[in-house]
C-alpha cells in the first residue's frame, strides 16, 4: 500500500477511464494477484456442483461407499481451500482499494497545494470538498473490477465449458445470456453516468453553500440575511434530492436486472436440463451438476452487472478528479529581476501608487474593490501592475512572493501550537515573536491560553474568537517581516479600543518598511501617511485622512458617518490639538471596520 511520504506518481489526466487504468497500473502485482485469486475462488465455486455430480454418479447411484467417501472428501477439501481463498481475495482487494484511495488523496492534495492561491479563483470550495469526501471513495470502490470482475468473466467461461460437456444446447443458452444482459443493461449505464454527473455537480454546489453558511451564520444573523441564505439552501437541497431520486431510479433498475435476469437463467436452464434428464439424455448426477452450475453462475453474472454500475460511477468521479488535475497554476514566465532596492508599486487599473517605506491606506465603500487592488499589487490577479519600472508579471513569481506578502483577513489557520501557527516554516527567535505579539495587541491571547505560545490551536482556530483569530493572523504577517506588506481589513473584527491600539502600534512596528492596508476605520486611517479614496475601483482622491475629511464629503460620509468637517483655519494635515481631536477619530460602527470581538472574521 502507498506510504504516506511516497511519491504517488504522475497521474494520467487525459480522461476518467485513463485515470482509473493509471491507478491499476500503479499497483500491477497486487492487481494481478487480486484477479487471479478471485478467478480461482469463483471457478472452485463452480467445481462444487461437478464434485457433487461425481459423488452421485460414481458413489451413491452404484452403491460404492469408497467412491462416495473419496468424492465427499474432495468436496470438503475444495470448500475449505476456497474459504481461505475468499479471505485472501478480500484482503487483496481491500489493499487495492485503499491504495487507490490514498493515492488519489495525495494527488489531489498535492495539486491543490501547487495551485496555491489560484485554486479559489479556478474552482469552488464545494467542488474540492465533494471530490475529497465522495469521489475518492467512489473511485476506489470501482477498482474491485480488477478482482471479482475479472473472476466473474473467468468463472462464466469455465461454467459454459462445463455445461458444454453435458449438453451443447444448455451451453448455448448460457453463452447467449450475458450478451442479452449487456444489451439490456448497457443503456442504463449511459443514463447512470449522466444522472450521476449532474448529481455530483449539484452536490458540490450544496457543499459550498453549507460552507458559506457555517462560516458566516453569526454575521448573517446580525445582518438579517439568515432567511435569505436558508431559502437558497433549501432550494439547492431540494434540487439535489430530486436528482438523487433520478440516480436511484436508474440504480434500482440495474440492481433488479442484476438479480432478476440470472434468476431467469436459472429457471430456463433448469427446465431444459430436467426435460433432458426425463428423456434420458443426461444422468441424474449431471442434472444436479447443471442446476449447481447455473446457481453458481448467478453470482458472477450479478457481479458483472454490479461492477458495470460501480465502473459507471467510478468514471464520473474520476472525470471530476481529472477536471481538477487539469487546472494549471498561474503562469510564471518572468525573466526580469525584481528591483534591488525598495521601489514604487503602481496599479494602473485603479491609479493606486504606493510609495516605499510608508504606511498607505485604501478606503472604499466596497471592500471588494480595495481587496482587488491588493490582489493585483501582490500578483494574485492578472494585471499591468508595476514594481519600480518593471511589470510584476515579468518578475519570477518566487521573487515576488519572497518580498511581497498579501495578508488576508480570513486567511486559513491550521491546527498546531500557537508558536507553529505564527512562525510557519521558520523558527523565529522568542523576542521576535513577542515583539510581533505586542504590535498586534495579542498579549492577552497568549496569556489567556493554558500553555502560552505552546498551547494547541484547533483547525481554523475554532477555539479562538473572531477578533482573536484576526490578531493572530496579524502576528503571523508581522513576524514574517516582508519588505512589502499588503493587509486586507486587518482590524475589521476588533472592538474600538483594541483597534485603536493596533493602529497605534502598527506604524512603528513597520517603520521603514512598505505597508498597505484596506480599511474604513478612522482609528486606522488617521495613522496612515497616505490615504487613497477608492470609488468604483478608481482612486477618487488622495491625501492624509484629515485632509480628505475636510475636502471630500463622500469620504467623510464613508469613514466618519456624518462628522463635522475640519474647522476653518485648522491644518487638515496635522489637525487640531490632540486634546481636541474630532469625535470622528473615536467613532466606531460597521463603516469604521469596528465590531464586537464576537464577530466572525
- Predicted confidence (pLDDT) per residue in 72-84, tens digit: 888 888 889 989 9
Q: Does 328 or 457 have the greater pLDDT score?
A: 457
Looking at residue 297, what is its pLDDT? 72
What is the average pLDDT value for the chain, to the nearest integer?
80
Please give the residue that has the higher pLDDT: either 598 or 168. 168
Of 42-46, 94-98, 568-572, highest mean pLDDT: 94-98
Question: 194 falls in which pLDDT band (50, 70, 90)?
Answer: low
The CA distance from 295 to 433, in Å, is 73
Distance (Å, whole) CA 547 – CA 562 = 16
Res 3: pLDDT: 60
Q: To 5 degrees, how large is the angle CA 105–CA 405–CA 335?
A: 85
Residue with more model confidence, 384 or 213: 384
Q: Is the pLDDT of residue 92 over 70?
A: yes
Residue 184's nearest CA partner among 16, 311, 301, 17 is: 301
Q: Kindly state the average pLDDT of the residues 179-193.
A: 63
Q: What pLDDT was estimated at residue 291?
A: 73
Contacts (Cβ under 8 Å, ≥6 apart) of 260: none
What pLDDT is stored for residue 164 in this prediction? 76
**Residue recorded with cell 510584476:** 392
Q: What is the mean pLDDT of residues 181-207?
A: 63
For residue 571, the model assigns a pLDDT of 46
Mean pLDDT of 191-220: 60
Residue for grid cell 498607505: 360
pLDDT at residue 217 tops 70: no
- pLDDT at position 241: 79
Note whether 51 and 77 are within 8 A (CB): no
Q: What is the pLDDT of residue 197?
A: 62
pLDDT band (50, 70, 90) for residue 520: very high
Q: Residue 346 in contact with residue 353, Cβ under 8 Å?
A: yes
Phi, psi of 518 (to 5 degrees): -110, 135
Q: What is the chain's percent helix, strand, coil content, to nearest 5?
A: 65, 10, 25
pLDDT, mean of residues 508-534:
95
**Contact call for residues 168 and 219 (beta carbons, < 8 A):** no
| Residues 149 and 89: beta-carbon distance below 8 Å | no
Residue 254 confidence class, pLDDT cut points 50, 70, 90: low
Query: Which has more confidence, 395 or 143?
Result: 395
pLDDT(282) > 60: yes
Residue 211: pLDDT band with limits 50, 70, 90: low
Over pLDDT 90: what percentage of the chain? 34
Most confident residue range from 161-165, 233-237, 537-541: 537-541
pLDDT of 583 over the 60 cut: no
Q: What count of Cα atoms within 13 Å lies in the side-chain half-sphere of residue 543?
A: 16
CA 9 – CA 383 distance, rounded (Å): 35
Of the ranges 154-158, 412-416, 453-457, 545-549, which one carries the lowest mean pLDDT score? 154-158
- Band of pLDDT at residue 209, cut at 50, 70 and 90: low
**Environment class of residue 427 by beta-carbon count within 10 Å: exposed (0-12), middle (13-18) or buried (19+)?**
exposed
C-alpha cell at 210: 453549507
101 touches 1 (CB < 8 A): no
Pick the closest to residue 406 from 476, 513, 485 (CA basis).
485
Compare 71 and 286 and report the one with higher pLDDT.
71
User: What's the pLDDT score for residue 562?
Assistant: 42
Residue 579: pLDDT over 60: no
Check whether 330 has a pLDDT greater than 70: yes
| Cβ proximity of 494 and 470 under 8 Å | yes
- pLDDT value of residue 72: 86
- HEC secondary structure over 356-394: CCCEEEEEECCHHHHHHHHHHHCCCCCCCCEECCEEHHH
pLDDT at 499 over 70: yes
Decide which of 215 and 262 is more confident.
262
Alpha-carbon distance 159 to 146, whole Å? Answer: 20
pLDDT value, residue 198: 67
CA distance 399 to 122: 23
Half-sphere exposure of 131 (CA within 13 A, CB side): 23
156 or 205, which is more confident = 156
Question: Over pLDDT 70: what percentage of the chain?
Answer: 79
pLDDT classification of 195: cutoffs 50, 70, 90: low
CA distance 522 to 593: 9
> CA 238, CA 478: separation in Å to the nearest integer?
46
Query: How far apart, in whole angstroms, are the C-alpha atoms of residue 190 and residue 205?
Result: 23
> What pLDDT is stored for residue 515 in this prediction?
97
Q: Average pLDDT for residues 177-185, to the nearest whole number?
A: 65
Poorest-confidence range of 375-384, 508-517, 565-574? 565-574
The mean pLDDT of 14-27, rounded to a whole number, is 91
542 pLDDT above the threshold of 70: yes
pLDDT band at 500 (very low <50, low <70, confident <90, very high): very high
For cell 478612522, name the residue.
522
- Distance in angstroms (rounded) separating the CA atoms of residues 601 and 595: 10
For 349, counting Cβ atoms within 10 Å of its Cβ (0-12 exposed, 13-18 middle, 19+ buried), the class is middle
Given strand 538-543, what is the order of strands in its sheet? 404-407, 484-488, 514-518, 359-364, 530-535, 538-543
Say which range, 17-21, 136-140, 148-152, 186-190, has the weakest mean pLDDT: 186-190
Cα 111 to Cα 459: distance, rounded to the nearest angstrom: 21
594 pLDDT tier (thresholds 50, 70, 90): very low
**Exposure letters 553-566 (e unless 16+ CB within 10 A, then b):** eebbebbbbebebb
Helix axes 284-325, 226-278, angle to 10 degrees: 160
pLDDT band with cut points at 50, 70 and 90 for residue 216: low
**Residue 376: its pLDDT value, please?**
94
Q: How many Cβ atoms sit within 10 Å of the Cβ of residue 60?
A: 18
Least confident span in 146-160, 380-394, 583-597: 583-597
Cell (9 digits) for 556: 467623510
Summarised one tens digit per residue, pLDDT across range 337-377 is 999 999 999 999 999 999 999 999 999 999 999 999 999 99
Cβ neighbours of residue 76 under 8 Å, at least 6 residues apart? none
Strand partners, 600: none
pLDDT at position 185: 62
What's the CA gap between 536 and 554, in Å, rounded? 13
Sign of CA dihedral 461, 464, 465, 469: negative
Whole-number Å distance between alpha carbons of 104 and 40: 30
Cα–Cα distance, 175 to 185 (Å, whole number): 17
Amino acid at each position: 500500500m502507498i506510504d504516506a511520504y511516497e511519491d504517488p506518481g504522475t497521474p494520467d489526466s487525459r480522461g476518467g477511464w485513463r485515470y482509473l487504468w493509471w491507478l491499476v497500473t500503479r499497483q500491477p502485482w497486487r492487481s494481478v494477484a487480486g484477479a487471479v485469486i478471485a478467478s480461482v475462488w469463483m471457478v472452485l465455486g463452480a467445481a462444487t456442483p461437478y464434485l457433487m455430480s461425481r459423488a452421485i454418479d460414481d458413489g451413491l447411484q452404484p452403491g460404492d461407499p469408497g467412491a462416495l467417501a473419496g468424492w465427499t472428501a474432495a468436496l470438503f477439501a475444495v470448500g475449505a481451500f476456497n474459504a481461505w481463498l475468499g479471505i485472501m481475495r478480500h484482503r487483496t482487494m481491500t489493499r487495492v482499494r485503499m491504495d487507490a484511495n490514498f493515492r488519489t488523496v495525495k494527488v489531489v492534495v498535492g495539486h491543490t497545494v501547487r495551485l496555491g492561491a489560484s485554486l479559489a479563483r479556478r474552482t469552488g470550495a464545494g467542488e474540492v470538498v465533494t471530490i475529497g469526501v465522495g469521489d475518492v471513495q467512489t473511485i476506489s470502490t470501482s477498482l474491485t473490477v480488477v478482482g471479482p470482475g475479472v473472476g466473474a468473466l473467468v468463472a462464466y467461461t469455465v461454467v459454459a465449458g462445463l455445461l458444454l460437456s453435458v449438453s451443447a444446447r444448455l451451453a448455448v443458452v448460457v453463452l447467449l445470456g450475458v450478451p442479452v444482459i449487456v444489451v439490456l443493461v448497457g443503456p442504463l449505464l449511459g443514463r447512470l453516468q449522466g444522472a450521476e454527473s449532474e448529481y455530483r455537480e449539484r452536490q458540490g454546489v450544496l457543499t459550498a453553500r453549507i460552507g458559506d453558511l457555517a462560516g458566516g451564520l453569526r454575521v448573517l444573523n446580525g445582518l438579517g440575511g439568515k432567511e435569505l441564505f436558508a431559502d437558497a439552501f433549501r432550494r439547492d437541497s431540494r434540487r439535489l434530492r430530486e436528482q438523487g431520486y433520478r440516480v436511484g431510479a436508474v440504480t434500482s433498475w440495474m440492481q433488479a436486472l442484476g438479480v432478476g435476469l440470472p434468476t431467469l437463467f436459472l429457471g430456463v436452464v433448469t427446465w431444459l436440463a430436467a426435460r433432458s434428464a426425463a428423456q434420458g439424455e443426461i444422468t441424474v448426477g449431471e442434472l444436479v451438476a447443471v442446476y449447481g452450475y447455473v446457481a453458481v453462475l448467478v453470482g458472477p453474472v450479478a457481479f458483472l452487472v454490479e461492477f458495470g454500475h460501480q465502473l459507471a460511477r467510478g468514471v464520473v468521479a474520476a472525470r471530476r478528479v481529472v477536471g481538477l488535475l487539469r487546472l494549471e497554476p498561474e503562469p510564471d514566465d518572468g525573466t526580469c529581476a525584481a528591483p534591488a532596492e525598495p521601489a514604487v508599486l503602481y496599479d494602473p487599473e485603479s491609479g493606486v501608487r504606493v510609495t516605499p517605506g510608508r504606511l498607505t491606506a485604501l478606503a472604499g465603500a466596497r471592500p471588494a474593490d480595495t481587496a482587488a487592488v491588493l490582489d493585483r499589487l501582490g500578483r494574485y490577479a492578472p494585471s499591468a501592475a508595476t514594481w519600480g519600472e518593471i511589470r510584476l508579471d515579468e518578475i519570477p513569481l518566487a521573487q515576488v512572493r519572497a518580498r511581497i506578502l498579501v495578508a488576508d483577513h480570513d486567511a486559513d489557520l491550521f491546527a498546531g501550537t500557537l508558536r507553529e501557527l505564527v512562525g510557519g516554516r521558520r523558527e523565529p527567535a522568542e523576542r521576535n515573536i513577542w515583539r510581533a505579539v505586542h504590535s498586534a495587541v495579542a498579549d492577552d491571547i497568549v496569556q489567556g491560553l493554558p500553555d502560552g505560545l505552546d498551547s494547541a490551536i484547533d483547525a481554523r482556530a475554532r477555539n479562538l474568537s473572531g477578533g482573536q483569530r484576526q490578531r493572530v493572523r496579524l502576528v503571523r504577517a508581522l513576524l514574517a517581516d516582508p519588505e512589502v506588506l499588503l493587509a486586507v481589513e486587518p482590524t475589521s473584527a476588533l472592538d474600538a479600543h483594541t483597534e485603536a491600539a493596533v493602529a497605534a502600534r502598527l506604524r512603528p512596528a513597520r517603520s521603514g518598511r512598505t505597508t498597505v492596508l484596506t480599511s474604513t476605520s478612522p482609528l486606522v486611517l488617521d495613522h496612515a501617511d497616505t490615504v487613497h479614496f477608492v470609488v468604483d475601483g478608481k482612486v477618487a482622491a488622495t491625501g492624509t485622512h484629515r485632509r480628505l475629511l475636510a475636502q471630500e464629503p463622500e469620504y467623510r460620509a464613508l469613514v466618519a458617518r456624518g462628522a463635522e468637517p475640519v474647522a476653518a483655519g485648522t491644518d487638515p494635515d496635522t489637525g487640531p490639538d490632540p486634546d481636541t481631536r474630532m469625535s470622528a477619530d473615536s467613532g466606531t460602527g460597521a463603516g469604521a471596520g469596528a465590531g464586537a470581538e464576537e464577530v466572525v472574521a
